[in-house]
Amino acid sequence: GDSVTQMEGPVTLSEEAFLTINCTYTATGYPSLFWYVQYPGEGLQLLLKATKADDKGSNKGFEATYRKETTSFHLEKGSVQVSDSAVYFCALSDFNNDMRFGAGTRLTVKP
């Protein structure tokens, strides 16, 4: 079945460092791909999405490109801030009305 694998955390960075969180997927169809962010005590919020191969999703300085050839959707940000500290989830949505999530990666940004 469909699945998502993302890099294990936790990830700790200094402010203004470059961020990459790796995400790869397995799917039988042509899924849409998503990144969600979860702040402490809250539910998940959509960060960005891409719906077809080579699409780039972007929001708040974060970017991810849908790479069909490598089945990947890595999250990047050029300069992280303390306020970016959160848990990040990669997810895919395929034809069966489900959304499958990765295990989540906790990011801590230190001043």
Partner 1 sequence: NAGVTQTPKFQVLKTGQSMTLQCAQDMNHNSMYWYRQDPGMGLRLIYYSASEGTTDKGEVPNGYNVSRLNKREFSLRLESAAPSQTSVYFCASRAGTGVNSPLHFGNGTRLTVT
Contacts with partner 1, residue ranges (CB under 8 A): 4, 31-32, 34, 36, 41-46, 49, 51, 89, 93-95, 97-99, 101-104
Give the nearest distance from C-beta 16 to partner 1 in angstroms: 29
Closer to partner 1 by CB, 40 or 111: give it: 40
Residue type at position 111: P
Closer to partner 1 by CB, 1 or 111: give it: 1
Closer to partner 1 by CB, 19 or 57: give it: 57
The DSSP result for 3-50, as a single string, is EEEE--S-EEEETT--EEE-EEEE-SS--EEEEEEE-TTS-EEEEEEE
Cα distance between residue 49 and residue 27, in whole Å: 16
